[in-house]
Amino acid sequence: MLSWKRGESSPLPAPTRSSGQSDLALGAIRKLSGSVSEVGHDAAEVRGALDDVQRVVSAQAQAMQALADELKGVARAQVAITAATTQSNQSVQRARDALASAGAEVEGMSQTLKQVSEAAAGITRISLQTRLVAFNASVEAKHAGDAGRGFGVVADAIKSLAAQVETSSKAIVSAIASLQTRIDHFSTQLVERDSAKPSEVHAAFRAVETEVTAIATSAGQSAHQVEALNARARELESEVGEAQHGLKVALAGSDRFLKLSEDLIEQIAGSGVEVEDGEFIRLAQGAARDIAALLEEALRSNAISEADLFDENYRPIEGTNPAQVLTRFCQLTDRLLPEIQERVVQANPKIVFCIAADRNGYIATHNKKYCHPQRKGDTVWNTANSRYRRIFNDRTGLASARNTKPFLLQTYRRDMGGGKFVILKEAAAPIVVNGRHWGGLRLAFNF
């Protein structure tokens, strides 16, 4: 049985009924309380739906921003492609000019070789004539007898030399003819004489020019398309921005609506009229006081220091998803809190959980059914079944953890993982240890 501290009155007035209150008035108030509770349920549904839409819109906004960045990158790439194709065209033209110049040089070389060939042919003719003269001189020397013997020796030497010259000149003519054939073929490749029948080199240049031109044309068309996409992306970004603004306004309105329903429930519950939520408020307040008493006793017995009890240095547990953290008071709460938290959970079948959170929404020790070790790689299961050692600093979690009023009532949508949500009410009461606010007792229950 949860108990209040001796000599302390309950912050929530016990159900009373003065002589001036009629059954009709009490019934109307209870009916109003039920209606307001339903309004809170619907408001929480709307708030949760708006949260979902906001997440989607935020994701779309991020995607639009990423798309805009990608389009900018594509545009920059297209500018670079256009510049590269322009340079390529210029390079091809320079290569064609160089090719034409080389062709002219090759034609000049061909003409020079022809002249050399003609000169070699002239040498051959001269050598033939020289051999003929030498032969005649040799014949005459023989007719002259001993007197012409010396002249005959000279004639024979000249004839031999002329034969060597003829052989060399013929070799030169043959080599030049072979070189001439090669140069003529090379010249045919370099010099475009018939545009209808281009050489392989000129055909290759034309193919390069055609491909580069096609790339430039495609890049230009793509640039226009990207610009159109950019314009549309800017419009969509503006529309998403307007949607985000509208959602912010809607969220603010739903928050005010939800807060109004919660305030009405709190005022009715605090008026002394017994309402449906009164039992859960009293359970939360009693559990908060019992936990505070246990923590104060732990300080008195030196089971923990005040610095460790109020430790906010959260140390991440590696490899956890959702992220789990540790503090210096985890072992103490694991030892002290389950008895109270589990007892309260069993007090009414509508209760979903009863947990103590520090001022930052950190749940060191959850109810046993939510304290299963995480499964590696199974985030959905972990979200629903491994809820201890986690910080719940959402709107509801922080409001309950930092509440200093006698009690706080909230209605919210709880994420169960895997896209599943439930609408819950939550009664919260502050946990005060030796006059210092440690956190809050959170008691959630179904409608």
Range of the domain at 128: 23-257
- How many distinct structural domains can be found in the chain? 2
Strands, sheet with 420-433, edge to edge from the N-terminal-most edge strand: 351-358, 436-446, 420-433, 408-417
pLDDT for the residue numbered 338: 97
Residues 224 and 304 occupy one common structural domain: no
Residues 58 and 146 occupy one common structural domain: yes
Domain holding 93: CATH number? 1.10.287.950
Greatest Cα pair distance in the chain: 181
pLDDT for the residue numbered 246: 67
Residues 179 and 32 occupy one common structural domain: yes
DSSP designation for 364: S
Residues 177 and 321 occupy one common structural domain: no
**In-domain check, residue 224:** yes
Residues 239 and 296 occupy one common structural domain: no
Residues 281 and 236 occupy one common structural domain: no
**In-domain check, residue 178:** yes
Residues 152 and 238 occupy one common structural domain: yes
Is residue 375 within 8 Å of residue 382, measured between CB atoms? Answer: yes
Residues 247 and 308 occupy one common structural domain: no
pLDDT for the residue numbered 187: 64
Is residue 111 within 8 Å of residue 180, measured between CB atoms? Answer: no
Q: What averages of pLDDT result for each successive group of 10 residues across the chain (447 residues)?
A: 39 49 56 58 62 67 71 72 74 69 68 72 74 71 71 71 72 74 67 65 71 74 74 72 68 64 65 76 97 98 98 97 98 98 97 97 97 94 94 93 93 72 91 98 94
User: What CA dihedral angle connects 392, 393, 396 and 399, to 10 degrees?
Assistant: 120
Final residue belonging to a domain, choices 209, 224, 257: 257
Residues 174 and 292 occupy one common structural domain: no
Final residue belonging to a domain, choices 226, 257, 288: 257
d(CA 261, CA 255): 10
Residues 291 and 416 occupy one common structural domain: yes
**In-domain check, residue 267:** no
**In-domain check, residue 192:** yes
Provide the phi-psi class of 19: left if phi over 0, else alpha when psi is between -120 and 50, else beta: alpha
pTM attached to this predicted model = 0.55
Residues 165 and 290 occupy one common structural domain: no
**In-domain check, residue 305:** yes
Is residue 429 within 8 Å of residue 406, measured between CB atoms? Answer: yes
Residues 309 and 438 occupy one common structural domain: yes
Q: Give 200: exposed, middle or buried? Use CB within 10 Å, 0-12, 13-18, 19+.
A: exposed
Pairing of strands 408-417, 325-326: unpaired
374: three-class secondary structure by DSSP: coil
Cα-to-chain-centroid distance, residue 189? 53
Domain holding 430: CATH number? 3.30.450.20
